[in-house]
Amino acid sequence: MPTCSKCDDKVPKVYDCDHTHSEEYCVECYTELHYYLTEKNND
């Protein structure tokens, strides 16, 4: 099972994109990351 690079949890599926700098994040960390990115762009 893959491991999230951020929270170190073993998860069934990991996600990555440019924002994770090629690291693999669990869905929660991935969503949280994009949540903050969206917030930032909202000003």
Secondary structure in 3-state letters for the chain:
CCECCCCCCECCCCECCHHHCCCCECHHHHHHHHHHHHHHCCC
Residues that contact Zn ion, how many (by CB under 5 A): 7
CB of 15 to Zn ion, least distance (A): 9
Nearest-10 Cα torsion for 10, 13, 15, 21: 30
Q: State the binding string over 14-43 for Zn ion (x if CB under 5 A, else -).
A: ---x-x------x--x--------------
Tell me: does residue 6 bind Zn ion (CB under 5 A).
yes
Residues near Zn ion (CB under 5 A) are 4, 6-7, 17, 19, 26, 29
